[in-house]
Amino acid sequence: MEANILHADLDAFYASVEQLLDPALRGRPIAVGGGVVLAASYEAKAFGVRGGMPGRRARELCPGLIFVGGHFKDYQRLGDAAIQVLGDFTPVVERISIDEAFADVAGCTHLFGPPAEIATTIRRRVRAELGLPISVGVARTKHLAKIASQVAKPDGLVVVDPRHELEFLHDLPVELMWGVGPVTRERLAGIGVRTIGELAKTKGGSLERLLGPAAGEKLNALAWNRDPRKLETQRRAQSAGAQSALGRKPAEAKIFVPTLLHLADRVATRLRAKSRPGRTVTVRVRFADLRSVTRSITLDQPISATAMLAEIAEALVRKVLVDHPHEKTISLLEIAVSHLEKQSALQLELPLGLDDDSRRPGTRKGAARWTADRAIDKIRDRFGWEAVGYASVTLGLSRSVPDAFRELAEKEL
């Protein structure tokens, strides 16, 4: 098979856009954000500054760091324009975030030349037309193309010869693989696995005991470049979620209740906008040592009401804390709703006077909550998100990450 899959990834995208908009920032260490680093330029990364890092820590590492607020409309505009450049060569484009996408160019090489030449042209056009650096990886599989684009950074091109895939892959660190974050990397390091080649040679049973059957099997396959996935050009999200990094906060109701309500507001608003309520609610609580615990519940009826979702999530978080009484600090909270349904009308329920009537969408109390949310949606559509909201969120939550930044990462429902 030929290496026909491209993975294109705009380099340090948010910071690069800020340097594009303000030439005085070019070549200088900058960070988008304030209380939390949302993105950092390569000049700042050289000092150890990373996305998600507290702003105070970033300033300690890089005393000359310049913080900028962020131009979110420009991020969306320029991200769309860069992906459109890929679309000028092939209709088989799978966008996976605002600043990166896959493209299968197998059907257009007779028009534009071999994949490496197409990738070179894409990089040249993005730089000339948009003024932004972009790295591209070319390989036979999606996983390997994405790794190649990471190796190519910053502002480079790497083409992986199908005859030498494992030679290229096995010397690389495991953290370049999809699904290997800081926690998994540390677990693998604990058994002496630091490169993808070492992972490939690790017995499947050891990986399954360490990471679980599904994750162990998946990583072993990717380590041997076994990745049969095709590009999905019309992919829609099968769940909606939102998370909030808290730093290190006490595991107390005054912290997690307003945070959960804010997250529920973001998720439920998206569900209502697309008329796609969901049945399964999942929460994730990450503690100070970066260990995460999840809990979920599947409901009889799909929900999309903000207060309803927040209360269910709160009950799940309280259960997590009861099950882990020694954990006194939380660093992240997440809510996700899955098993989404397409629902055009609310199905009413008989007034049985059950204790959970306020959490059942078809009861009088549940319908009243949904109606109130729809009124809020209409006001926000006309006057903006900040025009109206829940008082406990507005008064009780300090948001270090702007909502506009979160929206850039939200997938289409």
Return the active site residues: 100
Alpha-carbon gap, residue 219 to 298, rounded angstroms: 29
Task: Give CA separation, 45 vs 50, 51, 169, 233, 350, in Å.
Answer: 6, 9, 25, 33, 59
Alpha-carbon gap, residue 45 to 51, rounded angstroms: 9
- CB count within 10 Å of CB 288 equals 14
Q: What sign has the CA pseudo-torsion 138, 44, 292, 307?
A: negative
Tell me the chain's radius of gyration from C-alpha atoms: 23
Tallying the residues shown for the chain, one arrives at 413
Alpha-carbon gap, residue 191 to 182, rounded angstroms: 15
Residue list for the binding site for Mg(2+): 9, 99
Alpha-carbon gap, residue 292 to 93, rounded angstroms: 34
Residue list for the binding site: 9, 99
